[in-house]
Structure 1
Amino acid sequence: MAIRSHRRTERYAARAGVITLSAILAVGYGAAVGDGGLPGAATAHASTPSAAPGVAWFSSSELRLGDHGREVRDLQERLLELGYWLDSADGEFGGLTYHAVIALQKAAGIDRDGIVGPDTREALNNGVRPSAQSSYANAIEIDLERQLLLVVSDGEVVKTFTTSTGSGETYESRGEQHVATTPKGEFTVFRGVDGWDTGPLGKLYRPKYFNGGIAVHGYTSVPAHPASHGCARVSIKAMDWLWESGHLDNGSVVVVR
Structure 2
Amino acid sequence: MGQTKSSNIEFLNRIGANSEQEKPDSHAEDGHQENEQTKATVKLEEMVLVYPLSMPRTPDEIREEFINTMLRSKSKAERDAVIATGLLPVTAAIDILITFIWPFGGLLEIDAVWAYASIRGAKASRSVTKRLTSTSGSGKHDEDKLHLNFSPSPRLAVLEKFLAARCHERDGNLFPYVGSAPTESEALEAIGWFPSSKGGAERNWEDEQWEIAEVKDDLNSVMRKAAREWTKWLALFEKKPEKAARK
TM range (shorter): under 0.3
The alignment's TM-score, normalised by the length of structure 1, stands at: 0.20
The alignment's TM-score, normalised by the length of structure 2, stands at: 0.21
- Greater Cα radius of gyration, structure 1 or 2: 2
